[in-house]
Amino acid sequence: MDLERKALGLGNKPALVLIDMINGFTSSACALGTDCPEVVAANKILLDEFRAKGLPVLYTTVVYHSDDEATVFRDRINALNVLTPDSDWVKVDDRLAPIDGEPVIEKCWASGFFKTDLDERLRAQGVDSIVVTGLTTSGCVRATVVDGLQNNYQVVVAEEAVGDRNQEAHAANLHDMHAKYAEVQKVQDVLDHLGQL
């Protein structure tokens, strides 16, 4: 049975954080990826609205510059070794390409916050809440959501804008995040909130 909880939603200065919407994860041509055009489309809707409102947009990607980075993670999942700086797999999917002023933050582990400057970038822009989207629900999305809460942000997960190769894991992690760490909302609910700002 889930704990009683209070719905917080978004604050007055939300940012959109797109987690690993990179070629290596949005294409089944990569061992790490899965074709997910519906997730890409949902991200595009949110991206367009955040840009129209002049709200912060930040991306993450996974890049390994040397063999001594994230060695245990890479030993567990050898397919991660294709994510090198010169690879197209680490580039943001062209359908969601960043524009000037939208940083792509490199990370080596699951969370967008862990050993990156994501928190500092959000604080510098006065962000009080984040909408987390991307891939995968049970992996990097969940890790970022938990760390978002632990960095004292109100966190919303846009349900149609996250995805996972394992649908059971996707559903279970959406349930867990909503129960403990974040609000899981439909994309339209997020758009409605942005319309009130």
Alpha carbon distance 67, 110 (integer Å): 17
- pLDDT at position 9, please? 86
pLDDT in tens, 75-117: 999 999 999 999 999 999 999 999 999 999 999 999 999 999 9
Asked whether the predicted pLDDT for residue 5 surpasses 90, the reply is no
More confident residue, 6 or 142: 142
- pLDDT at position 2, please? 84
Q: How far apart are the first and last CA of the chain?
A: 35
Name all domains of the chain by residue range, CATH numbers in brackets: 14-196 (3.40.50.850)
Quick check: is 140 catalytic? yes
- pLDDT at position 8, please? 86
Annotated catalytic residue within 30, 36, 108, 140? 140
Asked whether the predicted pLDDT for residue 7 surpasses 90, the reply is no
